[in-house]
Amino acid sequence: MKKQLFLSTLLIILALNAILAQKYSNEFLAIGVGGRAHGMSGAQVALTDDITAAYWNPAGLTQIQAPLQAAVMHAEWFGGVGQYDYLSFGKALKGDRGAYLAFSLIRLGVDNIPYTINLVNADGTINYDNVTSFSAADYAVFGSYAQKLKNPHLSVGGSVKVVRRVIGSFGNSWGFGADAGIQYRKGSWMLGAQGRDLTTTFNAWSFNLTDREKAVFDSTNNEIPVSNTEITKPRFMLGAAYKWKINSKTTLMPAIDLEWTTDGQRNVLISSKSLNIDPKIGVEADYKGLVQLRVGVANFQRVKNDFDPNKEHLSLQPNFGIGLHLGRVQLDYALTDIGNVSAVQYSHIFSLRLDFKERSKPTQEQ
């Protein structure tokens, strides 16, 4: 029975203890949105030009041609255990130079987690009616604005975000932060830069554990969490892309992003205690604006040899994607591993983008 009690609270303990490790706080916001982006391994800072730019680089919102645009995405982890969903919509602002306003929602959640801490009664009998369930979910709401500058090749944008994280009835937090970005486009070249969590995003956590739950934490040698503030330090993305016209029907667009972090040493391609650089490389081939094929590589890591700890090899994560553009509808699919970079366990990602026209006003007869 002790084993059952341990397993029933394992997810709670892991989730609550992860809060104490601030280096990887709010990591659900590092996953990314959109089938196009995932197919290219996240190389989007310079080339993003649709509603998903609110996440990748808000400056890219100025490239949207439709007066109204909306997008949705769904992905599942580990056979459907984890659900990742995204919804966004935006509108061009009249009377302002290339201005666009967008709102986005991201949710990552594990639902219906069995909670069996009360499975065994005080007299040792088992009562399955005492088994309940809970959810562990992370939410983020973005409000984004972008505008072109006097120089028509330059665009700037920014996002403010509210973060809500909930672990059943045991703990919850509210957080706030801001991102900003810039894009430069001239000819076939595209350059971009984005700063995430520039304000140092924080999450204020509060916990509500019963005496029994505290006793389980204590018996399993886990620290009992207390109310605290979790800090997410800034990270920076630099990107470049080039649109190469092969012939009248086909274009090829390679792109690269370099993600810079300063919150301590990470296992990335360029790693140090003060600065880490994680590259993301992607290529998109487009045929007549109807069909797109995408490939990408990211998550470069040094992995130690299981048989010789003094040796290591470089691992990477390949991604693949395909897109279909039908009038005002864009369908995107990506086969990618966003759940476990150390094993071959891929996730299927689907996203849909819709362009809308504003309702025309009736003309008055003269």
H/E stretch holding 39: helix 35-39
In a domain, 213, yes or no: yes
Q: Which pLDDT value is given to residue 366? A: 39
Q: Under 8 Å CB-to-CB from 148, ≥6 apart: which residues?
A: 62, 97, 98, 99, 154, 155
Q: What is the pLDDT of residue 332?
A: 97
pLDDT per position in the chain (366 positions), as tens? 444 444 344 444 434 444 444 556 788 888 899 999 999 999 999 999 999 999 999 999 999 999 999 999 998 876 677 889 999 999 999 766 689 999 999 999 988 888 777 777 777 778 777 777 788 899 999 999 999 998 989 999 999 999 999 988 888 999 999 999 999 999 999 999 999 999 888 888 888 888 877 777 777 777 787 778 888 888 899 999 999 999 999 999 999 999 988 777 787 777 777 788 899 999 999 999 999 999 999 888 877 776 767 777 777 889 999 999 999 999 999 998 754 444 446 788 999 999 998 665 555 543
* DSSP at 357: P
Residue span of the structural domain in which 115 resides: 2-356
Between the alpha carbon of residue 190 and those of residues 47, 250, 259, 290, the distances in Å are 6, 18, 17, 22
Tell me if 295 sits within 8 A of 320, measured CB to CB. yes
304 domain residue, yes or no: yes
Domain membership flag for residue 325: yes
CATH number of the domain that 39 lies in?
2.40.160
Residues across the chain: 366
pLDDT of the residue at 324: 97
In terms of DSSP bridges, do strands 329-336 and 312-326 run parallel, antiparallel, or are they unpaired? antiparallel
Gyration radius (Cα) of the chain, Å: 23
Give the pair of three-digit tokens for residue 195.
């700063």
364 falls within a domain:
no
Q: Is residue 363 part of a domain?
A: no
In a domain, 196, yes or no: yes
**286 belongs to a structural domain:** yes
Separation between Cα atoms, residue 78 and residue 11, nearest integer Å: 15
Dist CA 167 CA 153 (whole Å): 45
Q: What is the DSSP string of 74-91?
A: EEEETTTTEEEEEEEEEE
250 is a domain residue: yes
Number of domains forming the structure of the chain: 1
Q: What is the pLDDT of residue 254?
A: 98
